[in-house]
Amino acid sequence: MSEESKPLGGEVLTKPFKVLAGIFGFAVLLIIYRYFRGIGAVSNLNDGYPWGIWIAYDVVAGTAIACGGYSMALMVYVFNRGKYHALVRPALLASMFGYTLAGASIMVDIGRYWNAYNLFLPGYFNVNSIMFEVAVCVTAYIVVLWIEFSPAFLEGINKYKSGLPKFVQNWNVEGLRTTLNKWLFVFIAIGVLLPTMHQSSLGSLMLIGGWKVHPLWQTGFLPLLFLISAITMGYAIVIFESLFASVGFKRASETPLLGKIAGVMAWLTAIYLAIRFADLVIRGALGLAFQLNLQSFMFWVENALYVAALVFVAPPASRMQSRSLFLGGFFLLLAGTVYRFNAFLVGFNPGNNWSYFPSFAETMITLGIISFEIMAYLYIVKKFPVLPKPEHA
Amino acid sequence: MEIKRRDFLKVAAAGGAALAAAAHPALAREPKTRIKDAVGFLYDSTVCTGCKACVSACKQYNEMPASFSTPQDPLWDNPLDTDSKTYNIIKLFKDGTGAAKDREKDGHAYVKRQCMHCVDPSCVSACPVSALTKDPVSGIVSYSKSACIGCRYCQLACPYNIPKFEYEKAFPQIRKCELCSHRLKKGEIPACAEFCPTGATVFGKVEDLLVEAKKRLQYKAGSSQVYPVERLGGKATAERIVTPYVQKVYGEKDGGGTQILYLAGIPFEKLGLPKLEERSDAHRSETIQHTIYKGMIAPVVFLGGLLYVVHKNTKDHK
Amino acid sequence: MKNKELEVVSRQLGVSRRDFIKFCSVVATGMGLPLGTGAQIAEAVTNAAKRPPVIWLSAQECTGCTESLLRATHPTLEHLILDLISLDYHETLSTPSGKQAEEAREASIKANKGKFILVVDGAIPVKDNGIYCMIGGRTALDILKDTAKDAFAIIAMGSCSSWGGLPAADPNPTGATPVQKILTDAGIKTPVVSIPGCPPNPYNFLSTVLYFVTFKKLPELDDKARPKFAYGRLIHENCERRPHFDAGRFATEFGDDNHRKGYCLYKLGCKGPETHANCPSILFGDTGSGTWPVGTGHPCFGCTEQGVGFHKPLFSRASLHLVTPPDTYPHTQEQQGKGATIAGVAVAAAAAGAAFAAVSKVANKLGEDEKGKK
């Protein structure tokens, strides 16, 4: 396990890193302003559209994109495909930050953040609320992800301390590592249960929207559709991030492994599309896709992106080429994101008179959070043993 | 496919067993029924003259500030809808010339909008921290800012778009009508009902209001009838010439039923009241959730299966 | 009330019995008193012994308050006012003058110690020991303090004596001070009723006196010692032009079309929304409708209200104390929410563009690498 990965090394403060830091810095100022002047001062959220991109992207799409850890855990630890093991740590890293920053976005988005602990207090929490289940599950999963990833931190402190700040170098972590390795299987198991629960529940959140959610998206199958698409997005991010890192860090890519993952992804996507369209036909809602409006247009965009992804990864020959794998992964991530945007925003209509489009500050805060995520990823892969050693490709 | 069929079936079987156990009908969620002594209003759009005394009274007795929708000329309390400063509002439907009252074509009609105090409230089901609760005796849906985390899921859930949020404040809360429970405690009735001069808004026990509403639907248009004013069974009454009604009491069953009942002379959709199924969204959402999670049986069984499989697959990796 | 007494009074006052009783009912109604109170007032008046002596002191006044009392078209009102109360001293209206008038005043005070009503109009200057207003060789300040302590009750007639009025306007060079403050500073506890206005409506004064005579107590007062029946509401609440305000119909210039149509004068500086008075209800001069400033087309300047009258510029906008719904309605579906702005769309497009650019760059590189490998 530990012999597979090593720190990438190299300069952290590259030009891209500095650009991201700039965006993040500006976002921090906006976030501080939000706390002093209220949500309305930095966003276009309103009574008709109480949830905007901070929820639709940062939380819902963001955590689905962060399902790499989940999907790889399923592959490696449940279906026992050990040969993909080297891809687990980078997936976990992306998951860890994706979920943690979704949590941070929540703390920016909710209005009475000082009461947030009520979610965990008996006498307050409401077990009938899907939001409660999502909040508790996601919080627990963030903890689990940090624990699951900690072997990489501990190994880094143990073996690669010269690259780390002085205060870290003196920590003695050997005992902790041993205990952790003994009980890791528990956290891995929980780490498969929790996303199964909350990724489906993220879809269920929109059930109570009733008539306000367009029939092209409102269905009792929301939990199942969200779950399957989240798993496919988990594989997609592994493929995408792995190939992006290869090009970005000028390393060889793990194309054959990724190709096999893409195969799983393709099958699951086909199942997803089958359920999606069967549900539309049975409910008699498919006709709405042929009206000439924004909702029908975005419906076709969403599904065209899924088809595009399949075009790139369904044919076995394409799965042997890194370019098609990369584009397949990208289009699938985009498709899943657009699906979530559609279910939460585009397809949400509280009455024809309400409108919403994210404001400049609102989008900048989201971009700032994404920037931080990328910055943290870059720092950690360079200082800790995360990426697989080249010979594992 | 790469995944071994055997392994796939193992996991699928475990999950399936869990689902089967959980899908027992008795574990699904019971629909909520009306509370016997619940209180509410009967609002009759044909009686309403649009005087807005109820809007002023509500502002006064709930100590809410004016809401200016013309900031360049902040002279009137003129919100466009219920908002963070306005619990109750009178809106106008107008078609063409708007000449005749309670007529759809070239006519106008008024509608009073405030919290419907639903029988099976979506907001109560949605709220993760029970900040919105339904009183077991009066049925009033109340809000507690000490519980609220400001997630605004209630805003998304409400089919009538009632809960309003103070986006303009650094320390915001949700705002909505709470049926003047502070006045009910003192033996008074809600301000909007007390100050309605015509009897358009009448306060009372919902089961009695429903009887009154159905009685009115039987009245012959053009006949003279005595209508209660302020509250049912009170001294104040007003005689009026009945005008035609749409033959439905809105809120009797819509969305699972509400404690604010409506009568009107034009279709309710024109007044902005949404067409809802009889089954409440809360019931639908909770049924799906409970089918999967009731008693946490499925998750626990699934976790058990996972622990077994993962342990088996990792024990030689130490 | 005995018929004979009624006859006597009516003859004395020079009115018919019917007109006399009608007058008493009008006074009662003007104060918002219940049915039957008019009769009580009539009874109180006919009993000659109940007519209280009144001493009227004038300080920094313009005599407008007195003139207001006389400005009734009903010819007998002059009589009524002067005969209902025993006006023992009044600088304008008394027959004697000079030393004789002062002696008459001192005699009345001595004879009616603790029983007379003191009316004061005009503010009292206190600067430089009060030399800026002297009557008969004494300062108004001294005369007031002397007289006030022996009075049963004091009526501050007009804005000047109620809160300072015109003489107290910035920079107040004479130190003009209202009656209540003089008394409070001197420790004199005689109760004070304020009847502000410039001038006040005579009926506000008269009704207060008659109420006192009938019920032996002052009518209900607000926190500024003004009788609530007259000063309990804002002018804005009773103004006949209020529907124009509610409908958004305003005159914007004197003489413009809207001004000629009699629309609301708020935008011309009407202080009705922040002034307490009953002018629109009872008007002035008994000459019919529209006989008050707004009715004639000039905005109210808030003459009764401290902090408004003689303080705020005539044509500046009043602050609204009560904000109520307008005459218009929101429709069942009004446009709400915040849509796309240029900046919002630009940053979203830029982010999307950057993302797509990065992806295509990487994709191309991967494609080249593949080709290179082959």
| Structure confidence by residue, pLDDT tens digits, C248-260 | 999 999 999 999 9
- DSSP H helical ranges for A74-170: 88-109, 130-159, 166-169
Whether residues A111 and B149 touch (CB distance < 8 A) is answered with: yes
Q: Which of C345, C351, C370 sits opposite A367 (nearest CB)?
A: C351
The number of residues making up chain B comes to: 318
Among B280, B279, B262, CA closest to B271: B262
pLDDT per position as a tens digit, C96-124: 778 888 888 888 888 888 888 899 999 99
- Put residue B212 in one of left, alpha, beta given phi > 0 → left and psi -120 to 50 → alpha: alpha
Contacts of A143 (CB under 8 A, 6+ apart): none
Cα–Cα–Cα angle for C212, C213, C214, rounded to 5 degrees: 90
Q: Answer whether A270's CB lies under 8 Å from A276's CB.
A: no
What phi and psi values does residue C96 have, to the nearest 5 degrees? -70, 160
User: What does the pLDDT average to over C219-246?
Assistant: 95
pLDDT per position as a tens digit, B222-251: 999 999 999 999 999 999 999 999 999 999
Say yes or no to pLDDT of A350 above 90.
yes
Report the percent of chain C where pLDDT is more than 90.
48
Alpha-carbon distance B91 to nearest alpha carbon in chain C (angstroms)? 5
Q: Answer whether B48's CB lies under 8 Å from B110's CB.
A: yes
Rg (CA), chain A: 21
Say yes or no to pLDDT of C76 above 50.
no
Alpha-carbon span C30 to C22, nearest angstrom: 12
Whether residues B4 and A79 touch (CB distance < 8 A) is answered with: yes
Domain count along chain A: 1
C10-15, Cβ contacts within 8 angstroms, sequence gap of 24 or more: C12/C83, C13/C76, C13/C79, C13/C80, C13/C83, C14/C76, C14/C79, C15/C76, C15/C79, C15/C80
Among A213, A223, A207, CA closest to A347: A213
Alpha-carbon distance A388 to nearest alpha carbon in chain B (angstroms)? 17
Number of Cα atoms under 13 Å in the Cβ half of residue A369: 27
Interchain contact B54–C (C-beta under 8 A): no
Beta bridge partners of C123: C60
Does some domain include residue A10?
A: no
Interchain contact C237–B (C-beta under 8 A): no
Which residue of chain A is at minimal alpha-carbon distance from C365? A247
Q: Answer whether A294's CB lies under 8 Å from A254's CB.
A: no
Lowest mean pLDDT among A204-218, A282-296, A339-353, C210-224: C210-224
Please list every residue in chain B whose beta carbon sits closer than 8 Å to the beta carbon of residue C326: 75-78
| CATH assignment, C233-323 | 4.10.480.10
Residue B87 in tokens: 């619990």
Residue A386 in tokens: 């995360």
Would you state the pLDDT for residue C147?
Answer: 92
Q: Which of A51, A79, A118 sits opposite B152 (nearest CB)?
A: A51
Identity of the residue numbered B93: F
Please list every residue in chain B whose beta carbon sits closer than 8 Å to the beta carbon of residue A257: none
Alpha-carbon span C250 to B231, nearest angstrom: 39
Interchain contact C320–B (C-beta under 8 A): yes
Beta bridge partners of B224: B241
Q: Which of B127, B167, B317 sits opposite A38 (nearest CB)?
A: B167
Interchain contact A355–B (C-beta under 8 A): no
Q: Answer whether A286's CB lies under 8 Å from A219's CB.
A: no
Q: Answer whether B129's CB lies under 8 Å from A123's CB.
A: no
Cα-Cα-Cα-Cα torsion C38, C44, C47, C48, nearest 10 degrees, comes to -110
Question: Domain B39-277: which CATH class?
Answer: alpha beta
Q: Which residues make up the CATH 4.10.480.10 domain(s) of chain C?
A: 233-323
Q: Answer whether C294's CB lies under 8 Å from C288's CB.
A: no
Alpha-carbon distance C328 to nearest alpha carbon in chain A (angstroms)? 19
Say yes or no to pLDDT of B18 above 70.
no
Whether residues B167 and A128 touch (CB distance < 8 A) is answered with: no
Alpha-carbon distance B241 to nearest alpha carbon in chain C (angstroms)? 25
Contacts of C41 (CB under 8 A, 6+ apart): C24, C27, C28, C210, C211, C213, C214
Alpha-carbon span C331 to A21, nearest angstrom: 48
Whether residues A44 and C339 touch (CB distance < 8 A) is answered with: yes
Q: Which of A2, A39, A71, A129 to mutate to test the interface with B (most CBs of B within 10 A)?
A: A129
Would you state the pLDDT for residue B14?
Answer: 52
Lowest mean pLDDT among A85-94, A276-285, B60-69: A85-94
- Preceding amide of C273 cis, omega within 30: no
Whether residues B78 and C325 touch (CB distance < 8 A) is answered with: yes
Q: Which residues make up the CATH 3.40.50.700 domain(s) of chain C?
A: 51-230
Q: Specify the 3-state DSSP secondary structure of A114.
A: helix
Interchain contact C326–B (C-beta under 8 A): yes
Instruction: Identify the sign of the CA torsion C214, C216, C219, C225.
Output: positive
What phi and psi values does residue A360 have, to the nearest 5 degrees? -60, -50
User: What's the CATH fold of domain C51-230?
Assistant: Rossmann fold (3.40.50)
Alpha-carbon distance B144 to nearest alpha carbon in chain C (angstroms)? 26
- Preceding amide of C199 cis, omega within 30: yes
Please list every residue in chain C whose beta carbon sits closer than 8 Å to the beta carbon of residue A247: 362, 365-366, 369
Range of the domain at A71: 15-388
Say yes or no to pLDDT of B59 above 90.
yes
Whether residues B274 and A125 touch (CB distance < 8 A) is answered with: no
Chains contacting A with at least 3 CB pairs below 8 Å?
Answer: B, C
Would you state the pLDDT for residue B53?
Answer: 94
Whether residues C330 and B76 touch (CB distance < 8 A) is answered with: no
Alpha-carbon distance B235 to nearest alpha carbon in chain A (angstroms)? 40
A253 pLDDT tier (thresholds 50, 70, 90): confident
**HEC string for chain C:** CCHHHHHHHHHHHCCCHHHHHHHHHHHHHHCCCCCCHHHHHHHHHHCHHHCCEEEEEECECCCHHHHHHHCCCCHHHHHHHHHHCEEEEECCCCCCCCHHHHHHHHHHHHHCCCCCEEEEECEEECHHHHCCCEECCEEHHHHHHHHHCCCCEEEEECHHHHHCCCCCCCCCCCCEECHHHHHHHHCCCCCEEEECCCCCCHHHHHHHHHHHHHHCCCCCECCCCCEHHHHCCEHHHHCCCHHHHHHCCECCCCCCHHHHCCCECHHHCCCHHHCECCHHHHCCCCCCCCCCHHHHCCCCCCCCCCCCCCCCCCCCCCCCCCCCCCCCCCECCCCEEECCCHHHHHHHHHHHHHHHHHHHHHHHHHHHHHHHHC
Which residue of chain B is at minimal alpha-carbon distance from C336? B80
C83 pLDDT tier (thresholds 50, 70, 90): low
Q: Answer whether A254's CB lies under 8 Å from A87's CB.
A: yes
Whether residues A359 and C346 touch (CB distance < 8 A) is answered with: no
Whether residues B272 and C333 touch (CB distance < 8 A) is answered with: yes
Rg (CA), chain B: 25
B189-193, Cβ contacts within 8 angstroms, sequence gap of 24 or more: B189/B230, B189/B231, B190/B41, B191/B54, B191/B57, B191/B58, B191/B60, B191/B61, B191/B62, B192/B41, B192/B54, B192/B55, B192/B57, B192/B58, B192/B88, B192/B112, B192/B114, B193/B41, B193/B54, B193/B230, B193/B231
Among C331, C246, A353, CA closest to B92: C331
Lowest mean pLDDT among A31-40, B309-318, C194-203, C337-346: B309-318
Tell the burial category of A182 from Cβ atoms under 10 Å away from its Cβ (0-12, 13-18, 19+).
Answer: exposed
Whether residues A323 and C366 touch (CB distance < 8 A) is answered with: yes
Alpha-carbon span B203 to B196, nearest angstrom: 10
Neighbours of C261 (CB within 10 A): 10
Does some domain include residue A221?
A: yes
Whether residues A367 and C347 touch (CB distance < 8 A) is answered with: yes
Q: Answer whether A365's CB lies under 8 Å from A54's CB.
A: yes
B314 or A198: which leads in pLDDT: A198
Interchain contact A51–C (C-beta under 8 A): no
Would you state the pLDDT for residue B8?
Answer: 55
pLDDT per position as a tens digit, A46-70: 999 999 999 999 999 999 999 999 9
Which residue of chain A is at minimal alpha-carbon distance from B272? A351
For C283-302, b/e burial (b = at least 16 CB within 10 A) is bbeeeeeeebbbbebebbbb
Would you state the pLDDT for residue C9?
Answer: 67
For A336-361, b/e burial (b = at least 16 CB within 10 A) is bbbbbbbbbbbbbbbbebbebbbbbb
Chains contacting B with at least 3 CB pairs below 8 Å?
Answer: A, C
Interchain contact B69–C (C-beta under 8 A): yes
Interface of A with B in 151-180 (CB under 8 A): none
Whether residues B272 and C328 touch (CB distance < 8 A) is answered with: no
Report the percent of chain B where pLDDT is more than 70.
90
Interface A–B counts its CB contacts (< 8 A) at 206
Say yes or no to pLDDT of C221 above 80.
yes
Interface of A with C in 201-260 (CB under 8 A): 243-244, 246-248, 253
Would you state the pLDDT for residue C299?
Answer: 97
Among A364, A365, A359, A366, CA closest to A46: A359
Residue C293 in tokens: 């400033």
Alpha-carbon span A179 to A172, nearest angstrom: 13
Q: Answer whether A139's CB lies under 8 Å from A103's CB.
A: yes
Report the percent of chain A where pLDDT is more than 70.
96
Q: Which of A111, A204, A260 sits opposite B172 (nearest CB)?
A: A111
Interchain contact C289–B (C-beta under 8 A): no
Interchain contact B233–A (C-beta under 8 A): no
Among A374, B173, A47, A39, CA closest to A31: A39
Alpha-carbon span B239 to B242, nearest angstrom: 9
User: What does the pLDDT average to over B203-220?
Assistant: 97
Residue A206 in tokens: 């929109």
Q: Which of A37, A126, A209 sits opposite B129 (nearest CB)?
A: A126
Interchain contact A145–B (C-beta under 8 A): no
Among A142, A114, A120, A145, CA closest to A132: A120
Which residue of chain A is at minimal alpha-carbon distance from B133? A126
